[in-house]
């Protein structure tokens, strides 16, 4: 990476190698020391919704993971508003088969993957570190594989806060995302798609966020949905590229490739 | 129901009408007063793993719901062992399409149901009341529809307790379920099915329970998996019938029907 | 329809009401007399690949069915080239769940529709009449429901002809479709998608055609694949509209809606 | 194999190595000379429905392929009854993902396999040879991968014969299979499952056969459905074992394993 940066270009890194600012998180979550910890303070986490200004001048962009993006976009604005030292999040994420990459061995074979509801990382998932870094909240993450080709749904249970009312959540999200080209607030009282649902986002760069309140149980449920092959990875990288190089932010993102579907 | 009971038979009620002992829960979760609250104290909740002795003499058995069964069997033994007034559970349940019944309108059509990860009840699901009653813990439940024909997976995040160690969880579950014919403890370190997974339970009356610990986040993750057309409904009713009428408890349950699959 | 046409507009009819030129086919395949047989000779069958010139002046366009389109586009050029009085086609079509419409009752429920391979019309399917009309060949059609949200694959077994060589089939299809914006010839010797495959056409207006020869069995296998919600129905109607009204033929068809997916 | 047979045991071979009686078919379909052609005349093709008496005394049983079994059981009785030198079959087979074995590389990954309708062998499939051998008819076979974990449906288009009437087909099949424990005749006028459908056979050793007539097109459509992990492979081997060793023929076959499902 130092050699690559020495060429003078801007690097958009889709791996996890520069997502974490704190070098100590690498041995903890990735089981190795980071070989160039000095790069971590320079790298900008590739969520324009949180870091657009810094992205405009970045040399090294660390494009986020798909589960992290869905979780952070749902949680970050509410976490900021809550300002509570007791706040914490329990995150239950679901993802489709393309999130595991192109060839994943026996576990990804159709006969084994069809119809699963598999807690493949009930604890210890690596995206935990990204989420805690970007939201500032202690986050307990559990990840599940379910049957879909594309899609991530992150169900974020926010506890330890004074539960906001629905109208407050509308305000918080509108304030955070009202001008965002790729984040939509979804919370309807009828229809098939009342809450964010990755199925309707296939082939797009959108992340839909939504919510429900549960004051009796001291909980707000925040939802983030996206296409892991769109906003969850390659789409996010293109969006960051557009921000960095002063292209219109939606350039190349109005229609994404649709294979596999 | 009073007329039916007056005939002298034993009633196995698969509906929700007698699952809750506290009449005040009916207006809260089912939006109506219970017409015969005097029956609620008599009805026995149809989980032999918790109420086998009472079931042997029951006149009215309230067979539990599928999400409730997966959640209660995973949570109850650990909740009892925790004995903490701050303990609470955040439950994230996933279920397949047959859990919605035979004809569910547009939302259940294949084209709409395929590949969904839908938070159909992010808060307020009716099974919340059963789970709280049977475990004694405040429980915040969120329910999701995912793509599968059969199956329920309940991911129970237990917080507010001193996190037990793995060996303690083995002990707790073995003590609770070691002699149970239909509950298995699943927690392996390798293989495709390290944790409970409903896919491998299709056509059976098993409920598999498992766990993972997350001491850094003050959490234990407890997992319950079953076939909603087996242990989650009809299979449970047959098991209760066997207990009530002194048949071998596994009678008729070694092979369940497999339609739809 | 006469009243509608009297308004002076052009009608693009997505129903089957004007697809057949011979009024006698309506009682045979649709079990009723046609109320306005005089319209049938005027209506133009909405396949630009076969009737582009007539479509430019049409008052009444009969947009074809999805299985018919996949079959006709695969078969018509080869049928014309074969010029054999003994030629006949056996067509085995497969289609996904959205081909049955929005609400299809119990048969379309996810639990019943998942994983089916169902010969729902082993004989007597209504599209038989369209295919025979447009290809001039006796055609024996069998239709199957398989699991997919979108997509039709028509496997056309052409028999009773001198089996063409592969290079002849390339020539025939290139001559017929070389200039077509929405028909592609797919026949590769390696890769995952060597033959037409509807999965990769979701959200498009393409019909891919391909072939294999089987001289030992006196047979050519012709394949047609499309998205039934694209070229198979609404996309075809838009394409006909463009042809009729002198818009660029691909207008509005470079990206189709993707719900359901 | 000679060494194995020399031990004096009976061999049940699930591979294709001894299915074909004519050694010349091996270079043609399997691209190699058979190393022990003398074994081919001795081997008995493992369909009890056709060869039960010979199986009772067999030393070497060649258990058939799944597509071949579904096709032969649907076609053989009608082929025998037709006794026509012009008779021929066009067979269009569909199969699920477990038919490809345990680890099939990128083509079998869930993301690539989900929702496919893929003509993976439009001509030249190896089971062609078995079908022609066992039915005596020229058979043109095309094989398709569709989305299902288990199941084969073979749609057999029988042409070049005087088309039998439905009542004749009932007679032919009843005569052939009336006493068979694992072949059922399915041909109903209403309901969801009017024709053979592999979905309802998962976990069983049944092969369901059915039919439809199409006299206008000179065709009978014959259908065979089975679970490729049951009657299509392992179940068939157990059935042959039972026949060979004088066990009740259904021993061990009333409930098959259900993984994957």
Name all domains of chain C by residue range, CATH numbers in brackets.
2-64+233-244 (3.40.50.720), 66-226 (3.30.360.10)
Would you say the ipTM is above 0.90? yes
The alpha-carbon gap from B133 to the nearest alpha carbon of chain A, in Å, equals 15
Nearest to D261 among B199, B254, B255 (CB): B199
Average pLDDT, chain B: 95
Options B66, B143, B207, B240, the catalytic residue = B66
Closest-CA residue of chain A to D113 = A110
Cα(D126)–Cα(D65) distance, integer angstroms: 10
For chains A and C, count residue pairs whose Cβ atoms are closer than 8 Å. Answer: 24
Q: Which of C105, C111, C152, C258 to mutate to test the interface with B (most CBs of B within 10 A)?
A: C111
Nearest to B109 among C110, C147, C261 (CB): C110
Q: Which chains touch C (3 or more CB pairs under 8 A)?
A: A, B, D
Cα(C228)–Cα(C236) distance, integer angstroms: 10
Q: Which of C99, C113, C117 to mutate to test the interface with D (most CBs of D within 10 A)?
A: C117
DSSP H helices, D97-251, are 110-113, 127-135, 166-177, 234-244
Per residue in B145-174, is it b (16+ CB within 10 Å) or e — as a string?
Answer: bbbbbbbbbbbbbbbbbebbeeebbeebbe
Whole-number percent of chain B with pLDDT over 70: 98
Tell me which of B77-86, B129-138, D102-111 is least confident: D102-111
Nearest to C197 among D117, D123, D147 (CB): D117
Nearest to A203 among C200, C203, C260 (CB): C203
Residues of A with a Cβ under 8 Å from any D Cβ are 96-98, 102-106, 108-115, 147, 149, 260-261
Active site residue B240: no
Going by pLDDT thresholds of 50, 70 and 90, the confidence category of residue B111 is very high
Check CB contact under 8 Å for A110 and D105: no
Q: Which residues of chain A does B225 touch, with a Cβ-Cβ cutoff of 8 Å?
A: 117
The alpha-carbon gap from C197 to the nearest alpha carbon of chain D, in Å, equals 6
Residues of C with a Cβ under 8 Å from any B Cβ are 96-98, 102-106, 108-115, 147, 149, 260-261
Q: Is the pLDDT of residue C257 over 80?
A: no
Q: Which chains touch A (3 or more CB pairs under 8 A)?
A: B, C, D
Q: Is the pLDDT of residue B261 over 90?
A: no
Check CB contact under 8 Å for D260 and B199: yes
Residue B153 bridge partners (DSSP):
B94, B225
Q: Which of C24, C91, C119, C200 to mutate to test the interface with D (most CBs of D within 10 A)?
A: C119
Tokens of C88: 């006949």
Going by pLDDT thresholds of 50, 70 and 90, the confidence category of residue D170 is very high
Low-confidence stretches of chain A (pLDDT < 70) are 103, 257
Cα(C109)–Cα(C112) distance, integer angstroms: 5
The alpha-carbon gap from C157 to the nearest alpha carbon of chain A, in Å, equals 28
- Provide the pLDDT for residue A226: 97
Nearest to C261 among A254, A255, A261 (CB): A261
The alpha-carbon gap from C110 to the nearest alpha carbon of chain B, in Å, equals 4
Tell me which of A186-190, A198-202, B13-17, B105-109 is least confident: B105-109
Cα(A126)–Cα(A59) distance, integer angstroms: 24
Residue C141 bridge partners (DSSP):
C91
Q: Which residues of chain D does C196 touch, with a Cβ-Cβ cutoff of 8 Å?
A: 119
Tokens of A177: 């995302």
- Provide the pLDDT for residue D258: 72
Q: Are D40 and D34 in contact (CB under 8 A)?
A: yes
pLDDT digits (tens, 9 = 90+) for C97-150: 999 877 678 889 999 999 999 999 999 999 999 999 999 999 999 999 999 999
The alpha-carbon gap from A27 to the nearest alpha carbon of chain B, in Å, equals 15
Tokens of B219: 């959490």
The alpha-carbon gap from B150 to the nearest alpha carbon of chain C, in Å, equals 8
Check CB contact under 8 Å for B106 and C102: yes
Backbone angles phi, psi at D145, to 5 degrees: -95, 130
Q: How many residues does chain B have?
A: 261
- Per DSSP, the residues of C21-57 read S-TTHHHHHHSS--S-GGGTTT-EES-HHHHHHHHHT
Average pLDDT, chain C: 95
Q: Is the pLDDT of residue B195 over 80?
A: yes
pTM listed for this prediction: 0.96
The alpha-carbon gap from D259 to the nearest alpha carbon of chain B, in Å, equals 6
Q: Are D111 and A98 in contact (CB under 8 A)?
A: yes
- Provide the pLDDT for residue D185: 98
Q: Are B61 and B46 in contact (CB under 8 A)?
A: yes
pLDDT digits (tens, 9 = 90+) for C153-185: 999 999 999 999 999 999 999 999 999 999 999
Q: Which chains touch D (3 or more CB pairs under 8 A)?
A: A, B, C
pLDDT digits (tens, 9 = 90+) for B148-167: 999 999 999 999 999 999 99
Check CB contact under 8 Å for D111 and A96: yes
Q: Which of D115, D229, D258, D259 to mutate to test the interface with B (most CBs of B within 10 A)?
A: D258
Check CB contact under 8 Å for D261 and B259: no
- Provide the pLDDT for residue A240: 98
Per residue in A209-233, is it b (16+ CB within 10 Å) or e — as a string?
Answer: bbbbbbeebebbbbbbbbbbbbbbb
- Provide the pLDDT for residue B60: 98
Q: Which residues of chain B does C112 touch, with a Cβ-Cβ cutoff of 8 Å?
A: 260
Closest CA to D258 of A115, A230, A31: A115
Q: Which of C91, C99, C106, C115 to mutate to test the interface with D (most CBs of D within 10 A)?
A: C115
DSSP H helices, chain C, are 2-6, 25-30, 48-56, 66-82, 110-113, 127-135, 166-177, 234-244
Cα(D133)–Cα(D93) distance, integer angstroms: 18
- Whether the link from the prior residue into A260 is cis, omega within 30° of 0, is yes
- Provide the pLDDT for residue C258: 72
Going by pLDDT thresholds of 50, 70 and 90, the confidence category of residue C261 is confident
Q: Which residues of chain C does D153 touch, with a Cβ-Cβ cutoff of 8 Å?
A: 117-119, 144
The alpha-carbon gap from C151 to the nearest alpha carbon of chain A, in Å, equals 12
Average pLDDT, chain D: 95
Q: Which residues of chain A does B186 touch, with a Cβ-Cβ cutoff of 8 Å?
A: none
Q: Which residues of chain C does D108 touch, with a Cβ-Cβ cutoff of 8 Å?
A: none
Using DSSP bridges, classify how beta strands C139-146 and C88-95 pair: parallel, antiparallel or unpaired: parallel
Question: Sign of the CA dihedral C86, C87, C93, C98?
Answer: negative
When pLDDT is averaged across residues D16-24 and rounded to a whole number, the result is 97
Q: Which residues of chain C does D94 touch, with a Cβ-Cβ cutoff of 8 Å?
A: 94, 117, 144, 146
Check CB contact under 8 Å for C202 and A255: no
- Establish how many alpha carbons lie within 13 A of residue B46's alpha carbon, considering only the half-sphere containing its beta carbon: 32
The set of residues, in sequence order, having a beta carbon less than 8 Å from that of C9 and lying 6+ positions away, is none
Nearest to C258 among A203, A254, A260 (CB): A203
When pLDDT is averaged across residues C74-86 and rounded to a whole number, the result is 94
Q: Please work out, in degrees rounded to the nearest 5, the angle formed at the alpha carbon of residue B129 by the alpha carbons of B127 and B132.
A: 110
Options D66, D143, D207, D240, the catalytic residue = D66
Cα(C31)–Cα(C50) distance, integer angstroms: 28
Q: Which residues of chain B does A106 touch, with a Cβ-Cβ cutoff of 8 Å?
A: 192
Nearest to C98 among B104, B111, B261 (CB): B111
Going by pLDDT thresholds of 50, 70 and 90, the confidence category of residue D191 is confident
pLDDT digits (tens, 9 = 90+) for B221-255: 999 999 999 999 899 999 999 999 999 999 999 87
Check CB contact under 8 Å for D255 and B255: yes
pLDDT digits (tens, 9 = 90+) for D44-54: 999 999 999 99
- Provide the pLDDT for residue C73: 98
Going by pLDDT thresholds of 50, 70 and 90, the confidence category of residue C191 is confident
Going by pLDDT thresholds of 50, 70 and 90, the confidence category of residue B206 is very high
- Provide the pLDDT for residue B250: 96
Q: Are D220 and D206 in contact (CB under 8 A)?
A: no
Cα(B19)–Cα(B39) distance, integer angstroms: 10
């Amino acid at each position: 990476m130092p050699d690559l940066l020495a060429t003078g270009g801007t690097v958009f890194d889709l791996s996890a190698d520069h997502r974490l600012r704190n070098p100590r998180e690498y041995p903890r979550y990735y089981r190795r020391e980071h070989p160039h910890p000095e790069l971590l303070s320079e790298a900008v986490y590739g969520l324009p919704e949180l870091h657009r200004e810094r992205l405009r001048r970045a040399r090294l962009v660390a494009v986020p993971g798909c589960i992290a993006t869905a979780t952070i976009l749902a949680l970050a604005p509410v976490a900021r508003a809550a300002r509570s030292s007791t706040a914490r999040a329990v995150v239950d994420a679901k993802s489709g088969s393309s999130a595991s990459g192109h060839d994943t061995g026996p576990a990804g074979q159709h006969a084994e993957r069809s119809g699963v509801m598999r807690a493949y990382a009930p604890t210890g998932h690596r995206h935990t570190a990204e989420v805690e870094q970007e939201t500032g909240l202690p986050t307990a993450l559990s990840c599940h594989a379910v049957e879909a080709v594309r899609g991530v749904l992150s169900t974020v249970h926010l506890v330890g806060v004074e539960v906001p009312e629905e109208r407050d959540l509308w305000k918080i999200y509108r304030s955070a995302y009202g001008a965002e080209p790729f984040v939509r607030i979804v919370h309807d009282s009828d229809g098939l798609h009342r809450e964010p649902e990755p199925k309707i986002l296939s082939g797009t760069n959108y992340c839909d966020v939504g919510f429900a309140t549960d004051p009796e149980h001291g909980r707000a449920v925040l939802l983030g949905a996206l296409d892991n092959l769109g906003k969850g990875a390659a789409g996010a990288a293109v969006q960051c590229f557009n921000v960095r190089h002063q292209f219109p932010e939606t350039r190349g993102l109005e229609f994404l490739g649709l294979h596999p579907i």
